[in-house]
Chain A
Amino acid sequence: MAGVIDEYVATLRRDLDFDPTLARRLADEAEAHLREAAEADPAWPSAAAEQRAVARFGLAREIAAQFAADAVERQSRRTWIMLAATVAVTFVAMRLRVVWLDDLGLSMSSLAPLIDRYAFVAALAVGTVGWFAFRSSLAPLAVCLGGLAASIAAGIVRAGLFADGAPLHVLLAAAGEIALIGLLSWHVFGLHRRLRRTAALRRAG
């Protein structure tokens, strides 16, 4: 039969399931801590000694919620850095496309170039406001992701319309855009998951 400490450590591991590496490490640390604390109890060995050690350690959900909040902060920082990188590469790729199409003397009257340009500008504006005013919020990141994705999709359609003889640097820049938008989506999704987990732990705690 599992002891009080075993059950507590299992609960802690479960509550930290948003980060399996952290869950393993903290479970090991907490178990060593709890066993030492229980052994220092005058009533050791007994379930009461383990119970007191667990009570002094604090609620597993509250400890997991603190880790989850720290994870949100880290993930948020990483996501904003990824957004800045995506904006920079998208801008370079967009300029390369414009220069290339201008050199060819091709018309820019279709809808795709407008989306390419203005979706990017909108994403940049929302990102700038979001960075200064709503840095811990998911909304500006999601809007920026949408704007950049629209800009990149439009840019690719635009380049696809004139694909014959597209120079390598234009294609490479487009590949960079696609790779970064994929990474940015992954980061935004990760932040969304961590925010939900933190909120759930806080509600339950």
Chain B
Amino acid sequence: MLKGHLDAIVLAALEAGPAHGYAIIETIKRASADTFDLPEGTVYPALHRLEEAGLLSSAWMTPPGGRRRRMYSLTKAGTATLADRRKAWGRFSHAVNALLGGRAWPA
């Protein structure tokens, strides 16, 4: 189930600002209270795919005294896509909640 939403989750994890792959995974784990404990490497195909689609940009950066990392950030198109995905998810989850909760839809 998570696989179909991984791209949106990665976009959301970058909303606060640029981050590298390891930080993105840590953000996803923390924000989901470890519910989304996916293999860490699976975030990289998603990052590259989103960059290819123009939703992310990336560049190598080396902080003073730190390790060289590839930093990813949302593009304008990425921010707009995240907003669209949020709306779609809101409608979808509302409908599923209504159905599973036995309430009429639209509630």
The interface of chain A, by Cβ under 8 A from chain B, is 22, 25-26, 28-30, 32-33, 35-37, 56-60, 62-63, 66-67, 70, 74
Flag if A28 contacts B42 (CB, 8 Å).
Answer: no
Query: Chain A contact residues: over half helix, strand or loop, or mixed?
Result: helix
The answer to whether A33 and B48 touch across the interface, beta carbons within 8 angstroms, is: no
A-B contacts, 26 listed (Cβ < 8 Å): A25-B70, A26-B48, A28-B68, A28-B70, A29-B21, A29-B69, A32-B68, A33-B20, A33-B21, A33-B41, A35-B67, A36-B67, A37-B40, A56-B39, A57-B39, A57-B41, A58-B39, A58-B40, A58-B42, A62-B39, A63-B39, A63-B44, A67-B48, A70-B45, A70-B48, A70-B49
Q: Which residues of B contact A (CB under 8 A)?
A: 20-22, 39-42, 44-45, 48-49, 52, 67-70
Q: Please give, as numbers and ranges, the residues of chain A lying within 8 Å of B49 by CB-CB distance.
A: 70
CA distance A70 to B41 in the complex (A): 15
Known: A28-B70, A29-B21, A32-B69. A74 touches B52 (CB 8 A): yes
